[in-house]
Chain A
Amino acid sequence: MTYISLHRPSGFWQQLTFGARKQSSVIAALMLKDFKARSSRGRLGIVWLILDPMVMLVMMASIWYLIGRSEIEGVPVYLYLSSGLIVFSIVKQGISSVPRSITANAPLLNFPQVRPISCLIARFLFEMVLMLFTAVVLYFVMWWFWGLLPVFNDPLGLFQVLGISLVFGFGLSLFLGVYGTLYTTVGKLTQMMARPLMILSCVIHSLTDLPSYVQHYVLYNPIAHLVVTARIDIFRLQPIDGVNLTYPSIWAFSSLGLGIVAYYVNRFRLIRE
C-alpha cells in the first residue's frame, strides 16, 4: 500500500495559506463530486445538464410563436427569454438546489475539513459554473442556427445585475440551507412557494405586458427588478418607472447577512443533523 505523509507548516502565514489552500481543495473536490453525481445520472447525464434549460427555453418560446409573436419589446423571443432565464436561474438555484447540499453531503461531514458551509459554497459555485457554460452554449446555438446575438448595451450595468443576483442567490441559499436542513418543512414550503416565481419574475413575459395595477404588485418581487434591469442593460430598452437596483440590493445584502447569522447561530446543530 502507498502511504503519504502529511506535513503542516509551522508559521502563522504559512498555516493561513495552507488552510486556505486546503479549503479551496475541499470546495473543488465537492464541486467535482457534484459534477460526477449529476453527470452520472443516466447515459446522457452530462448532455441533459445543458439540454435541460434549452428545452425549457424552446418550450417557452413556442408559446409565443403559437400566439403569433416572434418578438417581445422589439427583441427576438429567444434572446429576450434567455436573458431573463439566466438572471432568474442564478437566484432560483439559491432556493432549489443549493440548500439541499448539506443533506446530500452529510456523510462527508465526518471529515473535519468538510464544513456545512463548504457544501453550500461548492454547490453554489458548481451551479454558477454550470449556468455560465450553459449560457455560452445557448448563445452559441442561437448565433449558429438563427444568427441571434445580444447587443450588450451596458455591460457594466449587466455585471452589476449579475453581481446582485449572485449575492442574493447565495444569501438565500445560506439562509434556506441552514433552516431547510434543520426543518424539512421549511424546504418543502420554499419549494412550493417558488413554483410560481418564474411567472411573477417576468421571465416568460414583459413587465409592460401586464396591466399597471398588476405591475405595482409584481415589482414587490426583487427578482423582477433584476430581470427587467438586465434586459434594459442588454437590449437598450426603455427604462420603466419603479424598476431599480436599490430594492433588490437591499434584499440581496439583507439575505446574505441573515444567512451568515443563521449559519453562525446554528453551526453546531448543522453538524449534528
Chain B
Amino acid sequence: MIRLENVTKFYPTSNGRHFVLRDVNLHIPHGARMGVLGRNGAGKTTLMKLIGGVDMPNSGRIIRNGHISWPLGIGAGVQPTMTGVQNARFCCRIQGVPSEDIPAIVDGIREFSELGKFFDQPAATYSSGMQSRLKFAMAMAFDFDCYIIDELSAVGDASFRSKSQEVFREKRQRASFIKVSHGLPELAKECNCGIVVNDGTVHSFDDFAAAADFYRELIGDGVEMEAEDIEFVADKRNKGAMRRAAANADRLERRRRRKRQQQAQSAPDIATTSRMPPPQTSAGQRKTTMRTPAIASLGGPAGTSHRPAPMAPRPRRETDR
C-alpha cells in the first residue's frame, strides 16, 4: 500500500517555483495495476521518483508499506564505468542480499539479460537497448511488492520482449505495479486503474478506461492510435468496444470540424454542422488512423466486470487536489 498525503513538489527556477505536484492525495492499494498518463513534462517521472523513494517531497508525506522497486526508467540505474557484473553485484549489495547469495543472482541476471560477453564489459560500451535489458533483468531478480515502471516495458528484441513479458506476467500475480507509458493499448491491457497527471494535480480513476478517456479529453487532438491496436484490444476485452469507438470517433470528428469552421468564420453555424450526417465508420476507413476514444470504453482486466465508459466527454472522476 502506498499513500500520498498532501504531497507538494516544486523545483526552483529563474522564474520562481515550478510546482510539479501540488497538495496531491493518492492511495494505491495492494494489488493495484495502475497506469499513469500525462503529457510530457507533466510530472509523471517526478511522481514515480517520489513513490519509489528516490526523491523527497517538499511538503506532505508518503507512506510506503512493503518492498517497492526503484523506478525502472530509461535514463538512470546503470553506472557506465562499471561492468554489467559489477552493476548487478552493486544492485544486490544495496538491496541487502547476503554475499553468499549474490553469485547465483548475478548468474541469473547474466542469463536473463542475454548480454553474453558484454556482461563483463563496462556499461558505457552498451547500446541503449542493452542497458535497458540489464536494468530490466536486475529489477526482475528481486521479488518486490510493487514495481515502478517508467517507460521501460518493451525493451530489447522480440524474443527478449516476449520473455520479459512472461516474467513480468508472473510477477504481476503476486505484486502490484505502477506503470508510466504513452502506449494506451499496452496500459489498457495490463492496468485495472489509472491516474492522470496534469498541471500539478493527480486525477485518479478506479477504472483505467475512465482515466484514458479523461486523458484524451485533456490532450484533445494530441493522441492518435492505430486501428489495429483498437481492434486488438477490443476483441480481447469487449465485443461492443468497436461500436463505441466508432461513435466516439465520429463525435470527435464532428467537434473538430466545428472548430475548424469556427476558426475559418465561415457561414454555417454550429447547429448546422452538428446536424451533418456522421462519417462512414466502416473497418476500411478505420484502417488508416483513428482517434483514441475507443480505448476509453474497453474497461478493466479480462474476466472482471467494469463500468461501461460514459459517452459524455467528461467521465466521473476523483480529483485529488
Give the B-binding residues of A (Cβ under 8 A): 1-8, 18, 21-22, 25-26, 28-29, 32-33, 36-37, 105-114, 267-269, 271-272
Contacts and interface: CB of A to CB of B under 8 A. Distances in A.
B112 A111 contact: no
Contacts of B42: none
Given A1-B111, A22-B96, A37-B81, A112 B143 contact: no
B142 interface: yes
Nearest to B101: A4
Given A29-B94, A108-B90, A269 B107 contact: no
Contacts of B76: 106-110
Given A6-B144, A272-B11, A108 B96 contact: no
A6 B79 contact: no
B95 A110 contact: no
A21 B82 CA distance: 24
A4 B55 contact: no
B47 to A, nearest CB: 14
Contacts of A4: 92, 95, 97, 101, 105, 141-143
B160 to A, nearest CB: 13
B79 A108 contact: yes
A1 B112 contact: yes
Nearest to A28: B93
A105 B81 CA distance: 10
SS of B interface (majority) = mixed
A14 B141 CA distance: 25
Nearest to B69: A112
B293 interface: no
Nearest to B163: A1
A22 B53 CA distance: 15
Contacts, number: 105
A271 B143 contact: no
Interface residues of B, number: 48
A271 B67 contact: no
Nearest to A267: B56
B79 A112 contact: no
Given A25-B96, A28-B93, A36-B82, A271 B56 contact: yes
B187 to A, nearest CB: 22
Given A111-B91, A268-B56, 4 more contacts: A1-B112, A110-B54, A110-B71, A268-B55
Contacts of B107: 2
Contacts of B311: none
A3 B143 contact: yes
A110 B140 CA distance: 16
Contact of A111 (B56, B86, B94, B143): B94
B54 to A, nearest CB: 5
16 contacts: A1-B108, A4-B142, A5-B143, A6-B95, A6-B96, A6-B144, A29-B94, A33-B90, A105-B79, A111-B70, A111-B77, A112-B53, A268-B56, A268-B58, A271-B56, A272-B55
Nearest to A1: B108
B227 to A, nearest CB: 37
Contacts of B11: 272
Contact of A112 (B54, B112, B140, B141): B54
Contacts of B56: 267-268, 271
